[in-house]
Structure 1
Amino acid sequence: MDRSGFVLKLFGLLLCLLPVLQACPQNCHCHGGDLQHVICDNVGLRRIPKVAEQTRLLNLQRNNFPVLPTNGFREMKNLVSLHLQHSHIKEISSGAFRGLKQLVYLYLSNNDISVIKMGAFDDLTELTYLYLDHNKIPDLPKGLLSPLINLFILQLGSNKLRELRAGAFHGTKDLRWLYLSNNSINSVHPAALDDVENLAIFHLDKNHLTSYPGAAMSKLRVVEDLKLSNNPMKIIPDLAFQSFGRYMETLSLDNMGLEKFSDKAFAGVTTLKTVHIENNKLSSLPGNFPFGRLETLTLSNNPWHCSCQLAPLRRWLESTRSRPDAACASPSSARGQQIRDTSALRGCKVPTKRSKKGSRH
């Protein structure tokens, strides 16, 4: 090939590449085959940039998008991961994510979102991970999340939610991890959790619940990790965990002002490994407290009454390698003594499983 032919061929190749070279937005970084990853982190953007249709990851965090407009991402049909954290977002318009039928990851944390219009999540049928924590979301109206039929993780911690209405999670039947920590939730409608019976992790700590939402919780079937810490509940009622007791491994009930477990509170609970009940007002534990598989139990800062009712606890404390702090508050003769060591429990008999089985015949 002569020199002129080579130059012409090179020029033609450059012409073919020109649209691709121009596809990376100004001040952004693009890499991956065919510009699959577009990084526009903290570059002063105020409008959603245009990117190549083949883009799979778009990082727009730390920019300024007060309103996510309708159809703002419509041409990004192959997008799998979208990052919009720390972008001063206040409102998400209806159809904001229309066209993103391949999107799996959506990060909207640390914004000022207080308005999410109905239809905002249209087309997000493949979305699996949705992060909306650290915003100002006040409500979850029925139908808002309905398009998210493949949602697995929903992070809604640190928002302004005050209640969970009936149908709040309608359509999200595959949801497994739900985080609602640090809101202002004071009521949970009995039908609020009807559509998410397969939750495995449910964090409802740091809210304003004054009573255990038993009717709603009874719809759950396979919860492994339940966190209710820092809710001002005084009593855990009978059968509180029965519907998922065969699966629950971690239970957090610390810092609640909790005064009592009802006698049958732990009915059906058989697999607990970790329990946190420190910083409450508990003086005793119910007879059916599930020590069988327990590995970790935090007990400190409770006014324990050291009578024979705590004999099963004493036996567990003697058998565990850890040495959790658990001091008697009463009777006065035992005040300040560790339950593990106090003489107040000497001579107490602990019912054995064998004797319980024998009583059934």
Structure 2
Amino acid sequence: MCSDVLVMVLLPVLRAQEGPPAPPCPTSCLLCSQEAVICQRLSQIIEAPGSTQALLLTEGSISRVQTSSLSDLSNITVLGLSQNRISELGQEAFRNLPFLQTLLLDHNLLTGPALEGGALKGLSQLEVLALGHNLLSMIQADWFKGTEALISLKLEGNLLRNVDSGSFPLNGLRDLETLDLSDNLIDRLDENSFNGLVSLRTLDLSRNRLSSAPAEAFSYLSWLGNLNLDLNSWNCSCELLELVELLSTFIQQPDKVPELS
């Protein structure tokens, strides 16, 4: 899990940098300092010092995130809320976090309406966004307004059925390099599904329900080096032959790694 990796990486570093003791925190916390708070099995977001740079609250029963919950954490760069029961995000829930670079919301109960109120609005420094293993059945370009710095977007393990020209902002994710759409229910792509993702280098569409896909959907991704189409339900058709022809050209380039079965 993303949160587990972050804990292992951050814990020794942040312990070495501990300053004055932070306010008392629950016994389930692994670390409470002026720079970082790492806790598990909480039912709500706890108060943390204003100097906090990393806040990881995982494996709990937190169900909602309101703007007021994080209003005093303007210095935070890493926020991990993985493996909770979050189904509600307040409007501009993270608006007071101007330096946030990593936001982990994977393994929760988020649906489309939770993101439609502009919860991600204004996260101009956000580089990593994990929304995998939620209950999302669609992707809407409006969710990503103001996240122009995004480099990695993880949407695996949801209920997504299609990706079309309205899924991603035309000019809003020009720095995105990694997009994970694996383990969904996607059975349709169109030629403009990834239009505007001009820097995309890794695209994972494995373990979906694709029977065909237009070659044009990938042909304009000039930086794409890793394309995973494995474990779909491919049918032999003229459209699929065009895709195979594109992948044949793709595989002849030493820096390209396509997977199709």
Measured against the shorter chain, the TM-score band is 0.7 to 0.9
SS at match of 2:220: helix
Which one scores higher on RCO, CA 8 angstroms, separation ≥ 6?
A: 2
Distance 1:166 1:224, change over 3 A: closer
**CA 87–286 in structure 1, closer or farther in 2 if over 3 Å, else same:** same
Unaligned runs of 5+ in 1: 1-29, 46-50, 266-284, 303-361
Determine which of 114, 125, 137 is the counterpart of 2:110: 137
1:170 equivalent in alignment to 2:155: no
The letter of the residue matching 2:77 is: V
Instruction: Report the RMSD for the aligned CA atoms in angstroms.
Output: 2.7
What whole-Å deviation, never above 9, does each CA across 1:134-158 have from its counterpart, x for those lacking one?
Answer: 1111122152101211000111111
User: Tell me, which stretches of 5 or more residues in structure 2 are unaligned?
Assistant: 1-14
Equivalent residue, structure 1, for 2:40: 62
Query: In the alignment, what sits opposite 1:289?
Result: 248
Cα shift at 1:79: 1.1
Q: Rate the CA distance shift 1:220–1:31 in 2: closer, same or farther, 3 A.
A: closer
With the length of structure 1 as denominator, give the TM-score of the two structures.
Answer: 0.59
Match of 1:211 among 151, 166, 188: 188
Partner residue of 2:229? 253
Give the TM-score normalised by structure 2.
Answer: 0.80
Matches of 1:152 and 1:142, distance apart in 2: 21
Deviation sequence 1:235-291 (CA, Å, 0-9, x none): 1213111232x21111110111122454554xxxxxxxxxxxxxxxxxxx3276223
- Mapped to 2, the partners of 1:254 and 1:44 lie a distance apart of 40
CA shift, 1:99, in A, is 2.2
Q: 2:175 aligns with which of 174, 187, 198?
A: 198
Q: Secondary structure at the match of 1:96?
A: helix
* C-alpha distance in 1 between matches for 2:206 and 2:22: 40
- Asked if the contact 1:155/1:179 (under 8 Å) is kept, the reply is yes
Q: After the TM superposition, which residues 64-79 of structure 1 pair with which residues of structure 2 at under 5 Å, given as runs? A: 64-65=42-43, 67-68=44-45, 72-73=47-48, 76-79=49-52
Task: Answer whether contact 2:50 2:72 (CA < 8 A) is retained.
Answer: yes
Q: Is the 8 A contact 2:229 2:258 kept in 1?
A: no
Pick aligned residue for 2:81 from 98, 104, 108: 108
Distance 2:209 2:228 in 1: 13
> Using a 3 Å threshold, how does the CA distance of structure 1 residues 287 and 112 change in structure 2: closer, same or farther?
closer
**Alignment of structure 1 residues 1-361 onto 2, 5 Å:** 32-35=17-20, 43=27, 55-59=34-38, 61-65=39-43, 67-68=44-45, 72-73=47-48, 76-139=49-112, 140-141=115-116, 143-188=118-163, 190-194=165-169, 195-244=172-221, 246-260=222-236, 261-262=239-240, 264-265=242-243, 285-286=244-245, 289-290=248-249, 291-294=251-254
**Amino-acid identity (%):** 23
Give the SS at the match of 1:217: coil
Superposition deviation, residue 39 in structure 1: 9.3
Largest Rg, 1 or 2:
1
CA contact (8 A) 1:82 1:107 kept: yes
How many residues align? The count is: 237
Aligned partners of 1:207 and 1:37: how far apart in 2? 41
State the one-letter code of the partner of 1:178.
Answer: L
- Looking at structure 2, the residues matched to 43 and 287 of structure 1 have their Cα atoms a distance apart, in angstroms, of 56
Equivalent position amino acid for 1:64 in 2: L
Amino acid at match of 2:36: L
Give structure 1 regions of 4+ aligned residues with deviation exceeding 4 angstroms.
Answer: 30-33, 36-40, 260-264, 294-299
**Distance (whole Å) between structure 2 residues aligned to residue 232 and residue 33 of structure 1:** 49
Question: Residues 297 and 119 (structure 1 numbering): CA distance in 2 closer, same or farther, change over 3 Å?
Answer: closer
Distance across 2 between alignment mates of 1:224 and 1:117: 32
